[in-house]
A and B are shown apart, each in its own frame.
Chain A
Amino acid sequence: MTPERCAVVGIGQTHHASARRDVTLGGLVREAAERALLDAELGWHEIDALVLGKGPDFMEGVMSPELLLAEALGAVGKPVLRAYTSGNAGGVAASTGVALIAAGQFSRVLVVAFEKQSEASGPGSTLQRLPFEAGWQGGTGSLFGAVCREYIHRSGAPPEVGDLAALKDRRNALLNPYAQVRRPDITLEEIAASRPLWDPIRLLHSSPSSDGACAVVLADEPSAARSARPVWVQGSAVRTEPYLSAEHDNVDPRAGAECAASVYRQAGITDPRHELDVAELFVPYSWFEPMVLENVGLADRDGGGWRSVVAGATAIDGALPVNPSGGLLGANPIGAAGLIRFAEAALQVRGDAGDHQVDGVRRALGHAAGGYSNCFAMWVVGAARP
């Protein structure tokens, strides 16, 4: 039998900030969940099951927070699943929600993802510091710097690519009322002159540390029929590979390429560059935009990614806009960041993205990545029922 169809019928997110000291963990997730329910015109009692996504529990110091947050999420008496895996948690959570619908088990599933990094030290809580490991003390940024360096080496990307991609996302973030980082007078020169962190990554190429949450309501076909503007999930996939595998390529990971190929296949897409109208990609450092474009088949693998950035093809009025929301450079509540990409893709399809709306979006890609460029989740959403 074929899986049940699934639609996004409600979308909500918090105003993201470096520290949301006005809310508890429960208050944060509830803010996003209530907005999604309001958007879906549904009550808490109409939700059949929940999925909670977030990054490492070390980020807040609460173990298995789905237990603590049961009441805040209206989950008492209901099935609950946690999604983690890594930084792609928000995307995996959406994928789990889609599976709960597709398996024919539930009619309406609330997917919530959050991170409240101000509760602890983000970089500190991502350091493994294994007993036998040298004290390189780098955190994830130091690894990703080397990955960007390798991309430059392979593709011949000129130094300004990271600055151009960052300028584009930072300007887009100004159009997004939920974005945390707003620099109205940002210039290319300022980005290029910002403090070097991990060569070639500079401060203004980087996503911030954030508190934030996002929620979507997913529905099966009969429930979606009662929704004013359902956005259909045309493809959904998760792919992972071992980061210590000899075959693992940090710049162009096979898991990312195959995850994209799977969602395109499910959606009946053969030419993603022309059949997708917008993409929300997981770009924690601006240098990742060209790399991800090539990995998911939205640019040629010989440096097509950086040439797209330089040509302005990924600008909000370009041929294939990337991150009109501002992406992770606007806010990066790690565990929620993937779900925010998925939700922004759905908002674009619905035509509800406000000032950062791209004209005439029929189909959009949401992309989430995590681990050491080895964990991925993606979905393709569209106006047409699959």
Chain B
Amino acid sequence: MSRVAVVGWASTAALEPDGRNEAELLGPVVDQALGMAGLSGAEVDVVCSAGSEFLNGVVGTVMGAFDALPGWPPRTHSHLEADGAFALYEAWIRLMAGEGGVALACAFGRPSAADPAGVLALQQDPYLVGPLGTGPRHLAALQARAMIDTGRCTERDLAEIAAARRGLDVAALLAMPHVASPLRESDCSAVCAGAAAVVLATEDRVPISCERPAWIVGIDQRMESARIGQRDLTVSTSTRLAADRLGLPGSSIDVLEVHAPFSHQELLVIDALGAGRVGSLNPSGGVLPADPLMASGLVRIGAAADALLRGGAHRAVGHATNGACLQHNLLCLLEGA
């Protein structure tokens, strides 16, 4: 199989709804990512996109995104309803399967049509759990409480993570009220609109202008049960499985980007990775200050690759998640030349 590298990427986040539609969010980042790679839209063989029609409030939003994507003449394009990191996984697979030499993985989220927490509650069992209206914060709070009960962390530990990611004061955060005990607003990601695009190329199609391609050593992703009561919420079993497959436990990582929509989940992911050394954790700032739903995980992989593309790091890992309480996790291991 041909080796595949990240050769360009871009992202945008808009903390307040600014009226841009899917194509308007996606267009600039697709152009920027291709520009960074030194490639034109015509050279893209495979497009894998991701988003959520529920969050956007319109069926067929993928159709609306076509205006921003290289699409004529026709090409291989598949779309999935999940975080864009899973679209990147599919793009990597399709390149290794011989379906092309250049792929664009992209994602967009415009969660302004309705209350995102209410929409995300629709991921739960529609027969027994959904009617209760349990949103991501309620379930994450149960998870954080379970971690505190086992002694893995304290509320102060969570506040320290939130303070570090948001550039705020720990004592000030601890003085704030809970939104879903033991979580405070600062422990929950700031949901916003946004888009991201990552350009992949096989070894023979990496542009000469790309001096330091970020080679994908491996991507692994694993699923867990949706039944919260059947999981040990204090460990991320699926992240550990993926980390084992990539040989991460005990290893040295220069840059780690974690997709943790709640502060305690950063601890869970780091525990599960079991890396021997992490040089820089979330240099992008992580998702607490800005969480463009469905693009956030792809941003983490882009940001991890960025450290290699710009030089200065050799080994980077991007993590992405989907579902409540880290149900579905993906790890992407990247290395410089």
Contact = CB atoms under 8 A, between A and B. Distances in A.
Interface of A: 1-3, 24-25, 56-58, 60-64, 66-71, 75-86, 92, 95-96, 98-100, 102-105, 119, 125-130, 237-245, 247, 253-255, 258-259, 371-372, 375
Contacts of A2: 98
The 6 lowest CB-CB distance pairs between A and B, nearest first, are A255-B74, A103-B96, A240-B77, A102-B97, A242-B66, A99-B97
Given A70-B225, A80-B223, A243-B63, A63 B81 contact: yes
Interface stretch (B116-124, B152-160, B189-197, B279-287): B116-124
Contacts of A80: 221, 223, 328
Interface of B: 1-2, 47, 52-54, 58-60, 62-63, 66-67, 69, 71-82, 86, 89-90, 93-94, 96-99, 119-120, 122-127, 130, 220-227, 237-238, 241, 322-324, 327-328
10 contacts: A2-B98, A60-B126, A62-B122, A63-B122, A69-B226, A96-B90, A126-B60, A128-B60, A240-B71, A254-B73
Contacts of A98: 97
B215 to A, nearest CB: 16
Contacts of B62: 84-86
A242 B73 CA distance: 9
Contacts of B119: 63
A127 to B, nearest CB: 7
Contacts of B60: 56, 86, 126, 128, 371
Contacts of A104: 1, 96
A58 B126 contact: no
Contact of B77 (A100, A128, A238, A245): A238
B78 A85 contact: yes
Given A84-B79, A245-B71, A258-B74, A62 B126 contact: yes
Given A86-B79, A102-B98, A128-B59, 6 more contacts: A58-B59, A61-B126, A62-B130, A63-B54, A70-B223, A103-B93
Most buried by A among B76, B82, B130, B223: B223
Given A85-B78, A96-B78, A103 B71 contact: no
Say what secondary structure dominates the interface of chain A: loop
Contacts of B76: 237-240
B79 A77 contact: no
A205 B90 CA distance: 37
A202 to B, nearest CB: 26
Most buried by B among A241, A242, A243, A244: A242
B160 to A, nearest CB: 30
Given A63-B120, A128-B59, A240 B75 contact: yes
B82 A82 contact: yes
Given A86-B62, A86-B63, A128-B59, A105 B74 contact: no
A371 B78 CA distance: 12
A81 B97 contact: no
Nearest to A237: B76
Contacts of B223: 66-67, 70, 75-80
A298 B79 CA distance: 28
Given A2-B98, A64-B322, A102-B98, A245 B80 contact: no
A254 B130 CA distance: 42
A245 to B, nearest CB: 5
B54 A77 contact: no
Contact of A242 (B67, B93, B123, B328): B67
B220 A79 contact: yes
Contacts of A82: 80-82, 86
Contact of B323 (A24, A64, A71): A64
A125 B72 CA distance: 28
B79 A254 contact: no
A102 B2 CA distance: 12
A103 B93 CA distance: 6
B327 to A, nearest CB: 6
A45 B98 CA distance: 28
